[in-house]
Homo-oligomer: A and B are copies of this chain.
Amino acid sequence: MMLVLIKNALILPIDDAMSVIDNGYVHIDGDTIVAAGAGAAPEIPNAEIIDADGDLVMPGMVNPHCHMAMTLFRGLGEDVDDRLYRYVLPMERKFVTPEMVRVGTELAALELIEAGVTTVADMYYFETEVGRVVDRAGFRGVVGQTIADFNPPDHKTIDEGFALAEQLVAEFAGHDRVIPSIAPHAPYSTDIAVMNRVARWAEDHPDVPVQIHLAEMDSEMEWCAKNHGMRPVEVVDKAGLLRKGLICAHCLHVNESDIAKMAHAQVCVAHNARSNAKAGRGIAPVEAMRKAGIPVGIATDGPMSGNTLDLFSQFAPVTMFQKLLGHSRKPMPAVDVIRMATIEGARVLGLDRKLGSLEPGKKADLIRIDLSAPRMQPVYDIYASLMFSAMPVDVRDVMVAGKWLMRGREVLSLERRKVMRDALQIAGQFKAEMARIDAAG
């Protein structure tokens, strides 16, 4: 078993008190944290000793909603209003293969590890391929096989969709880091009977988290009103899917009654601040949901919608939007934002007993952050510095389950040059296809 002792670190354990430990240590045995504390580090024979030289050590971050493989679509048609129907859907139908999913997910993995994100919830197609990349790259993933009615690239029928979910479960059952998940796409794109089938399937698979897009768009509100005379949260409830642990992405359009239903059902929310705002869709009532007891994590959405996959870029928008809604400096203080990025994000994924803090018995998922950039100094309040000044490049080292995935900003678990080369090769095909579409008018 590998023993590691990190000492001389500024430690944020993300315990209930949100302690800040100057000159602390973390003791790791195999994939587990034995102790994290202040004062003189214990003597641990045969341990690898890391002198953090005053750098910050905190839990790895949790990104609870992503479509990793869509890195390959990042920035495509950014200012084109009908980009979804003009480019994305036709191109997904043409290009989404297990190989494309592998390449896009590897590019995402590189970015995520470099940014100190150690756990991601993903929803896409050929999700078994996503699980394989997460496995090889060494981080954690809740990998969700999409189920949808719109003839998605990997299943022509709902039966085929469930078969893919079964295959995913079979391949990763019992895996410590890759957690199979099922993802009915959204109330407007997955029939109520299909959502109900997912709910029943999930009863038979109690360890498989369910993810869904929910209450994201005006058009979704209109569709649900027209087709069901209901709000999206009510449609999902009617389908029997508003159940404990459901990971709901977005939740912009939720009123008091929806929030009460969601809290009662013990669902969780993945908040996608930048993605929602970029589309002009609005601001999710995060403070209201959290006050109702709903755990809310900070997510990036897919890179086509949110561009980057790091949480640092989300922190300022997350707090600014709630401050704008509250017309005050007070809402969503820095400690709340950093909790959402770590332990609360873990709770959203049902993993808070296993990760999200540096406490004895937790998995050794941690990151080391360099505070020396001029923009980071001085530090009066380390949480404020993380929220408003830190950037992905400040992450120096990343450990997941006791293994180093990055040291001194070099990702150890992926071949960077090959990942980039493969991604650019596929991007070249996408560019050619865009030109073809544009030429066709």
A78 — which chain B residues lie within 8 A by C-beta?
Answer: 333-334, 380-381, 383-384, 388
**CB distance B309 to A380 under 8 Å?**
no
**CB distance A388 to B307 under 8 Å?**
yes
**CB distance B430 to A378 under 8 Å?**
yes
Interface residues of A in 407-427 (CB under 8 A from B): 416, 419-420, 423-424, 427
A278 — which chain B residues lie within 8 A by C-beta?
Answer: 316, 319-320, 323, 329, 388
Report the Cα distance A391→B388, complex, angstroms.
14
Question: Interface code A72-90, partner B: CB below 8 Å = 1, 0 otherwise?
Answer: 1011111101000000000
Copies held by the complex:
2
Question: Interface code A102-142, partner B: CB below 8 Å = 1, 0 otherwise?
Answer: 00000100110011000000000000000000000000000
A374 within 8 A of B: yes
| Among B280, B335, B416, contact of A326 (Cβ-Cβ < 8 Å) | B280
A380 — which chain B residues lie within 8 A by C-beta?
Answer: 74-78, 427, 430-431, 434
A93 — which chain B residues lie within 8 A by C-beta?
Answer: none
Report the Cα distance A140→B370, complex, angstroms.
30
Report the Cα distance A274→B110, complex, angstroms.
29
Closest B residue to A310 using CB positions? B375
Closest B residue to A275 using CB positions? B320
Known contacts A317-B317, A377-B424, A377-B427: does B75 contact A323 (CB below 8 Å)? no
A144 CB, min distance to chain B CBs, angstroms: 22
A373 CB, min distance to chain B CBs, angstroms: 8
**CB distance A427 to B378 under 8 Å?**
yes
Report the Cα distance A81→B330, complex, angstroms.
7
